[in-house]
Structure 1
Amino acid sequence: MAAVVPAAGSGVRLGAGLPKAFVELHGRTMLERAAAGLLASGAVDDVVAVVPEDRVAQAESELAHLRDDDHLVVVTTGGAERTDSVRNGLAALTAHRHHPRAAVYDVLLVHDAARCLTPPDAIRRVVAAVRTGAVAVVPVLPVVDTVKQVDADGYVVGTPDRAALRAVQTPQGFAPDVLLAAYDAAGDVATDDAGLVERTGGRVATVPGDPLAFKITTADDHSRALAELDPGSPDTGALDPGALVPAGPQEEK
């Protein structure tokens, strides 16, 4: 079982002045927490972290303690978009295993570094679903707010039934040949790996997600993460919500 962790995004919306995956939560970066959490689940053998080129040395140093005889932890560089970064991560598995990926791993995960508080049970549910026959699996939560569909001018054009809607989290899990085929067919940018599988006609299953698998995107999310990790402590190291800035079209990878 291997997991690719895209961590090459700039993190503009977080306003920390450095790539989001390298922002700390009580002395540990999101990247290190995400990688350690995957391995600690007992369901993941190898991890590939995909980071900006100028952060490779830092990532190597931070993740070195996770490597042992049973766990391969690889760092590689990201691409211009998230799709490119995941593709680079998949290629890194081949380079280090010296075998076709599908012949080595029976499950591949893709997990956002920004969802670094994801509990082990949530990871195990995704892996178990793939191993029992699903070719693609996403963890989900019910949508509790009313959702409106709007046009380019901001006018409401529809109200989807929220009973049929789900908020998607990571890790997303895949049969290796299905994920690789989806990326081989991908010709444009995608923010959701399961979406690429959908485009190729693959059926995507769901399993229950977890509230702790929320994505740390803004300064408020960062403060929430600090509080979840240590409810009794002040927000030491919290970011300034005033630093919030709109995201550009290529802010996340």
Structure 2
Amino acid sequence: MTVPPVPRLHVLIPCAGSGSRAGGDGPKQYRRIAGRPMVAHTLDAFRALPGRFATLALVVSADDSEAAAQLPGFPAAGEQLLRVGGPTRAATVHAGLQALCQAGAGLQDWVLVHDAARCLITPAQVEALIAACERDAVGGLLAHPLADTLKIASAEGRVTDTLARTDKWLAQTPQMFRIGLLLDALDRSGDAVTDEAGAVEALGLEPLLVAASAQNFKVTYAEDFALAEAVLLARRNPGTP
């Protein structure tokens, strides 16, 4: 009797976007926060779990000229720099998954897809997601319960409705699914989805929500950089007033 292989864990970080909403010169993932490129902090959280992942992959565009210069020492053993990024997040993730499979990843292996711009993710949050999802039939994602009142706006910028917030969550990353399931979901959804869970939901499945921290926000706008730096510096110097 053949024993099926134990599913491995892979990390895929899409890093091919331009970050236009953040302003500034160049892609936001390489802008410096607390003295280092943003994506370097993101990589740190996964590198802090040595031996946990079969692959730690960064997916950049084919013409990316920053990664090698900004990330000395990457890729190291067990890491990959994949120059297959596409014009959208979904295309980048799909191409990255295909590249992982070509390098030996199995369709039943798990992949944790994480935003390069969520540079405040912690190893403990990553481990919490894995513990919650590794025996789940579908997989899931880190998320945070919505604390603010949610309004619907008209084209003129006026409130047209207020939504109940009791069952609303803010989706975060990592999002953890089987590689085969996610490839199938993205094949069917195309570029219409903005996160992996949305593609899986379109298959009629219900990803698991794993409560995380409001600090795991995505650095998107210019003012987010100062907030992210303040959090990183506070973590580096705990107890400093």
TM range (shorter): 0.7 to 0.9
Residues 232, 139 of structure 1: CA spacing in aligned structure 2 closer, same or farther, 3 A cutoff? closer
Decide which structure has greater strand share: 2
- What whole-Å deviation, never above 9, does each CA across 1:116-170 have from its counterpart, x for those lacking one? 1101111111112221214121111121111012344444332211111111110
Whole-angstrom distance in 1 between the partners of 2:16 and 2:218:
15
TM-score, normalising length: structure 2: 0.85
Gaps spanning 5+ residues in structure 1: where? 234-253
**85, 88, 102: which one aligns with 2:107:** 102
Task: Give how far 1:65 is off.
Answer: 4.6
C-alpha contact (below 8 Å) 2:68/2:74 kept by paired residues: no
- Structure 1 runs of 4+ aligned residues shifted over 4 Å read none
- What whole-Å deviation, never above 9, does each CA across 1:31-61 have from its counterpart, x for those lacking one? 2221231232354331221113332563487
Decide which structure has greater helix share: 1
What code does the residue aligned with 1:172 have?
Q
- What whole-Å deviation, never above 9, does each CA across 1:77-108 have from its counterpart, x for those lacking one? 311111111111111102222x5x315x2x11
Q: How does 1:42-61 map to 2 (within 5 A)?
A: 42=50, 43-55=52-64, 58-59=67-68
C-alpha contact (below 8 Å) 1:25/1:226 kept by paired residues: yes
The alignment partner of 1:108 has SS state of strand
Identity over aligned pairs, percent: 33
What code does the residue aligned with 1:2 have?
H
Whole-angstrom distance in 2 between the partners of 1:4 and 1:148:
33
Residues 224, 102 of structure 1: CA spacing in aligned structure 2 closer, same or farther, 3 A cutoff? same
Whole-angstrom distance in 2 between the partners of 1:37 and 1:26:
15
Whole-angstrom distance in 2 between the partners of 1:5 and 1:56:
17
Whole-angstrom distance in 1 between the partners of 2:190 and 2:64:
27
Aligned-residue CA RMSD in angstroms? 2.3
C-alpha contact (below 8 Å) 1:134/1:204 kept by paired residues: no
C-alpha contact (below 8 Å) 2:61/2:85 kept by paired residues: yes
Residues 232, 3 of structure 1: CA spacing in aligned structure 2 closer, same or farther, 3 A cutoff? closer
**31, 38, 62: which one aligns with 1:30:** 38
Aligned residue number for residue 90 of structure 1: 97
TM-score, normalising length: structure 1: 0.81
Whole-angstrom distance in 1 between the partners of 2:14 and 2:75:
17
**27, 45, 67: which one aligns with 2:76:** 67
